[in-house]
Amino acid sequence: MWYREEEVVARVPGLTVRRLRRWVVRGWVRPARRDGEVAFDELDLARLRLLVELRDELGLGEDVLSVVLGLMDQLYGLRRRLRLLLEAVAELPEEQRRRILERLGG
């Protein structure tokens, strides 16, 4: 499902249009474009809720938010790559999987 700006602000407590637009400009949220308008999905809403929580409840400044988001993005990227690696390993013959596990110490 896709949401317009005003729908996003209504669904994310503590979010304002001004704050939403600033965070989009900073690249912290990257909405899609649909029919010439920005369109947010559920993942964008979750990220915005996190941003509001980090900013308002934990009191993190925008400079710190930038660092935190960068680290989180790296972590999620690594998790995604690890999942792909595990899927590839699962497709290998048993003997190869066993040798990989031995090399990893497991």
**What's the fold here for domain 1-59?**
Multidrug-efflux Transporter Regulator; Chain: A; Domain 2 (1.10.1660)
List pLDDT tens digits, range 67-96. Answer: 999 999 999 999 999 999 999 999 999 999
Return the DSSP state at 38.
E
Instruction: Encode 28-51: b = buried (16+ Cβ within 10 Å), e = exposed.
Output: bbebeeeeeebbbeeebbebbebb
Instruction: Name the pTM for this structure.
Output: 0.76
Give me the pLDDT at residue 37, please.
87
Give me the pLDDT at residue 101, please.
86
Give me the pLDDT at residue 106, please.
61
Low-confidence ranges of the chain (pLDDT < 70): 106
